[in-house]
Amino acid sequence: MLPLLSALPSALALMATPTPTPNWIWIEGEGPPTWAPAADRYFRRTFELDDVPAKVELAITADDTFDATINGKPAAQGTSWEQLYHVDIAPLLRRGTNVLAVCAKSTLPGPGALVVRITGLAEPLVSDARFRVTRDAPAEGWREVGFDDSSWEHALVIGPLGCPPWGSGIADQFEGAHLIEDIIATYRSDDPVLVVPTPRGRLSDKRDVTLGRLGRPLGVRYDGVPADSYAIELLDRGLAAFGVAVEPRAASPAIRLVLAPQRDSRPQAYSLDIRQDEGVRIRAADTTGLVYGVATLLQMLRVNDGQLVAPDANLDDYPAAEIRGPVVAPYSPNWLDFGAYFRLNAWFVGDVPPATVVSEAKRRGIGLMPARHLPDEYDFQSDEALNEIAQWALSAADAGLRWVTVNADDHPEKVYTEADRQRFGDELPGLAKAHAHFINRLKPLLGGRIELVFCPRVYYKIQAGTAYPRAHDERAYLENLAKGIEEPLLCWITEVSPSFLRESAERFRTPPLAWHNFFPGDTTDWKVYYEAYPVVREPGSARGFFVLGNTQEPDLWRPNYLTFAGNTWNPERPIGLREAFTALYGVRAGTALTRYAELAGGHDRPIGVMADFWDQPLEVAPRFLGSGWAGVVPGAERTPELLARCQALATSAAEAAAMPLEAEGVPPAMAQRLTDEAMRTHLAFSLWSHRIATELGQPWTGEDPAALRMRLADLIERLGLPGGATDLELTKGP
């Protein structure tokens, strides 16, 4: 096992000293009841340091957006006042004078405000009247230390954290900001793994608990823990990776595992206490909680001068989402180990697995979920077709599984036949009635032995020559489906905004599963997380997230995984893509990768199967058009607007490809792959631009298309990638 990759929090040593309350600040004349116009406001705050601490955390947000620097270097950006943004700014600081500079903007006329806290300093810094602010666009160099801001106003203090109109949500995030540290460790050298959901509780860097010297037996005691518990196996394997043997019968154990069911305990929760005078105790009400407690302990252990040590800790941790897990097929034993170690408890598999697989998954606290797609030309009126699906679902119940899922999302135009249209009606209302008919007939056949999870028709897609439904049609479909079903239904909802989840819960009378695929073998999904992926701040609004990952290129997908895991396990401290990049690779590389994601992002190959959002309603289109989701498909209408969008994406991707990522601290292999992906996106969008310009009769001033085609073909071949269908089409020419 490799050493811990991140330092433990030095700021925690200051917890005994009360931290001043941050204030919401703005500029005189623009506080309530007079609100701010839609305009930028510029803030500065200087502070002195005798020495630079090992860790200094900036916690910041603004209503509505902000861009913050430390000593002229990028530190943090934010686009939602409801989210508190955290970043370690220690690498940006220096001895002597330092300056925090923030450009904040109220994007619409209304409340405008900034709130800041910096901890880890000898004296915490919070937003107050000592901040300087101006309305006028400042001269060049205003973000640097030597800039003269004496003519700027003192900031207007609107009110302390928790005051209206912002309320207690941000205040709650501040209160937890300095209690915990992201624990980033590597479990086994053959597992490309990496990150864990952030635990609730406190860690101390003042003292370490010494568990024992390497190579000597370590005393472990199990109270009430079954002999075949996976927690025991996980602990044994983890300690063995350090070179430590276990002696379960030692008189004075250094580690105790306690299984103590209690009526008021949360499922899958655990408490972890590490104390210098008492050693380690992990207590849980169920065996799954014990597994999670052991995983957290292993991720905190490290070797110091030949001894196994851990920091003092008092963690009381529980998941906020009942169901958490990746969509992974086929099954692999290594994936089950991975899931247990990283608190993922549901697995999507293609078929009903053997009993031995089911039992091994259960031992790790993982439930398996077989899935079926409605086949093409499915006959909604056929008893034989219905009984075949029912028998498949009952076989899963016989294997001891909790759920099966039926997916009606893919290719509904093939599933929905002319006979179905004659009976149920045309378009989405008819399709919704057919699906409700299917559900109402299937569920009684299951006899309550297994739960049906239904994935309805909620994707936004355009395929060649076929326009799929727009957002209002999708909602109409869900409304008709909900009206037609006879009892509550558990759905997978692929639109994961909190408002849409709430609407779905009301319609189907049970909280939905929120499901989002990502395919992080290519990096273009980063844009989804940077712009569009929402943090669900209401734990009850969703029952889980499902993630598709791959282990071939872990550096590419682990930032996405960290956002998912952190936000479904502990959504009180949301983790965005910038935070994930920074936690994994440091401030400098994190800033570069965030910029790369802005420039090169898209979804599942930027050309091809993804959506054209030109015709979406106003609340949907800007979010996706602004984040690179405007994919180009063979059947899309050729317009000057589409040409301009393709040219802009080609230019943006070229800028991303030219970024010196490795020089900014990005791991070399990762930097090379990102450069290749950005170049691939640039070449593809350049070729689409040429095609559209030709069809519109507009002159072409870009690179020779034959040279573009050759470069794209060479790149696909060099990367060993099959290439998307439209990628390959583009290499062949018109």
- For every residue of 43-77, DSSP letters joined together read EEEEEEESS--S--EEEEEEESEEEEEETTEEEEE
Q: Which residue has the tokens 């309350």?
A: 21
Which tops the pLDDT comparison, 691 or 392? 392
| Domain-embedded: residue 520 | yes
Residue 510 and residue 613 in one domain: no
Verify that 550 and 639 share a domain, yes or no: no
Whole-number pLDDT of residue 330: 54
340 shares a domain with 313: no
Q: Are residues 386 and 521 in the same domain?
A: yes
Spatial strand order of the sheet with 451-455 comes to 346-349, 367-373, 403-407, 451-455, 490-493, 513-514
Within 13 Å and on the Cβ side, how many CA atoms surround 36? 24
The CATH code of the domain that includes 249 is 3.30.379.10
Instruction: Verify that 251 and 397 share a domain, yes or no.
Output: no
State residue 10's pLDDT score: 27
Is the pLDDT confidence value at 61 over 80? Answer: yes
- Write down the pLDDT at residue 725: 42
Neighbours of 167 (CB within 10 A): 12
Tell me: pLDDT of 447 over 90. yes
Nearest to 454, CA basis, from 494, 490, 488: 490
**Which residue, 175, 192, 226, sits at the end of a domain?**
175
Looking at the fold, whether 169 and 246 belong to one and the same domain comes out as no
**Residue 268, domain member (yes or no):** yes
Structure tokens at 540: 């009850």
pLDDT in tens, 599-635: 875 433 333 223 333 333 333 333 333 333 334 444 5
Name the most confidently modeled range: 17-31, 263-277, 305-319, 701-715. Answer: 701-715
Pair 207, 312: CB distance under 8 Å: yes
In this predicted model, which residue has the larger pLDDT, 255 or 427? 255
91 with 223, same domain: the answer is: no
pLDDT at 404 over 90: yes
Confidence of residue 21 (pLDDT cuts 50, 70, 90): confident
Query: For position 308, what pLDDT does the model report?
Result: 87
The arithmetic mean of pLDDT across residues 77-102, rounded, is 88
Contact call for residues 608 and 631 (beta carbons, < 8 A): yes
Give the model's pLDDT for residue 597: 79
Mean of the per-residue pLDDT values of the chain? 77
Taking only the tens place, the pLDDT of each residue in 497-547 is 667 778 888 899 988 887 655 444 444 455 444 433 445 555 555 677 666
Strand pairing class (270-275; 490-493): unpaired
126 lies in the same domain as 45: yes
pLDDT at residue 307, as a whole number = 86
Is the pLDDT assigned to residue 7 strictly greater than 60?
no
Same domain for 577 and 603: no
The predicted pLDDT at position 445 comes to 97
Residue 231 reports pLDDT greater than 70? yes
Of residues 280 and 351, the one with the higher pLDDT is 280
- Please provide residue 497's backbone torsions phi and psi, each rounded to the nearest 5 degrees: -75, 145
pLDDT at residue 470, as a whole number = 53
pLDDT at 639: 81
Residue 10 lies in a domain: no
- How far is the C-alpha of 120 from the C-alpha of 11, rounded, in Å? 4
Q: Quick check: is 392 in a domain?
A: yes
Least confident of 149-163, 402-416, 577-591, 620-634: 620-634
> Rounded to whole angstroms, how far apart are CA atoms 501 and 487?
18
Would you state the pLDDT for residue 49? 94
In this predicted structure, what is the pLDDT of residue 619? Answer: 34
Tell me if 8 is assigned to some domain: no
pTM over 0.75: no
Here the CATH number for the domain that contains residue 126 is 2.60.120.260
Q: Note down the domain range covering 79.
A: 20-175
Using an 8 Å Cβ cutoff, are 87 and 70 in contact?
no
Most confident segment among 88-97, 183-192, 231-240: 88-97
Which pLDDT does position 197 carry in this prediction?
64
User: In angstroms, rounded to a whole number, what is the distance separating the alpha carbons of residues 142 and 68?
Assistant: 12
Instruction: Report the pLDDT value the prediction gives residue 328, as an integer from 0 to 100.
Output: 61
pLDDT of 88 reads 83
pLDDT of residue 649: 79
Alpha carbons 446 and 452: distance in angstroms, whole number: 9
From 175, 210, 233, the end of a domain falls on 175
Q: Which of 323-327, 343-347, 409-413, 417-421 has the highest mean pLDDT?
A: 343-347
Residue 538: predicted pLDDT: 57
559 and 422 share a domain? Answer: yes
Q: What is the pLDDT of residue 181?
A: 27
Query: Is residue 353 predicted with pLDDT exceeding 60?
Result: yes
Q: Give the pLDDT score at 548.
A: 56
Residue 700 lies in a domain: yes
Whether 710 is covered by a domain: the verdict is yes
pLDDT for res 568: 72
* Total number of domains in the chain: 4
Tens of pLDDT, residues 162-200: 777 887 667 756 653 322 222 233 322 333 334 456 678
CATH code of the domain covering residue 382: 3.20.20.80
Q: Are residue 87 and residue 43 in the same domain, yes or no?
A: yes
Between the two ends of the chain, the Cα-to-Cα distance in Å is 53
pLDDT at residue 413 in the model: 63
Residue 640 predicted with pLDDT over 80? yes
Residue 13 is assigned to a structural domain of this protein: no
496: its two tokens:
């994961």
More confident residue, 322 or 452: 452
User: Looking at the predicted structure, is the pLDDT value of residue 701 above 70?
Assistant: yes
Q: What's the alpha-carbon Rg for the chain, to the nearest Å? A: 27
Q: Look at residue 626 in the predicted model and tell me its pLDDT.
A: 33
Alpha carbons 454 and 357: distance in angstroms, whole number: 24
Last residue of a domain, one of 269, 286, 317: 317
Confidence of residue 554 (pLDDT cuts 50, 70, 90): low
Region 321-329: mean pLDDT is 71
pLDDT tier for residue 35 given thresholds of 50, 70 and 90? confident
Q: Would you say residue 153 has pLDDT above 60? A: yes
Would you say 183 and 160 are in contact if contact means Cβ atoms under 8 Å apart?
A: no
Mean pLDDT value across residues 264-275? 89
- Per-residue b/e over 51-64, b at no fewer than 16 CB within 10 Å? ebbebbbbbbbbbb
Tell me, yes or no, whether 313 and 332 share the same domain: no
Determine what percent of the chain is predicted with pLDDT higher than 70: 74
